[in-house]
Amino acid sequence: MKGTRNMQVGKVVGSIVSTQKHESLKGMKLMMVDILDGEQGLTGRIEIAVDTVCAGVGEYVLLTRGSSARHIFENDKGTAVDCAIVGIVDSFEK
């Protein structure tokens, strides 16, 4: 898809609670992340991501997508993950 990237930066703006979900998502923390633009501004484009680094609301995070996100998990066959938080941003520098 044009304009998509495999790794992006976003800000965690909330969490998702889901008692009924696919077996492969059980035990995973789901977070709502607002994707940043090139100037570190919020775009309002919210993505749902599996949190692999214990990020909290208000933190800036690194996201990866697609097969890169699925490869994080030991058994990526059948894992219903398309976006994962893989890092917490300490600072921005241009």
At 24-53, the pLDDT tens digits run 788 889 999 999 988 888 999 999 999 999
The span from the CA of 2 to the CA of 65, in Å, is 14
Q: Which pLDDT band holds residue 1 (cuts at 50, 70, 90)? A: very low
Side chain identity, residue 85: I
pLDDT at 94: 74
The pTM of this model reads: 0.83
pLDDT value of position 10: 96
Average confidence (pLDDT) over 54-74: 84
Q: What is the pLDDT of residue 76?
A: 55
User: Which DSSP category does 70 fall into?
Assistant: H
Question: What pLDDT is recorded for position 26?
Answer: 82
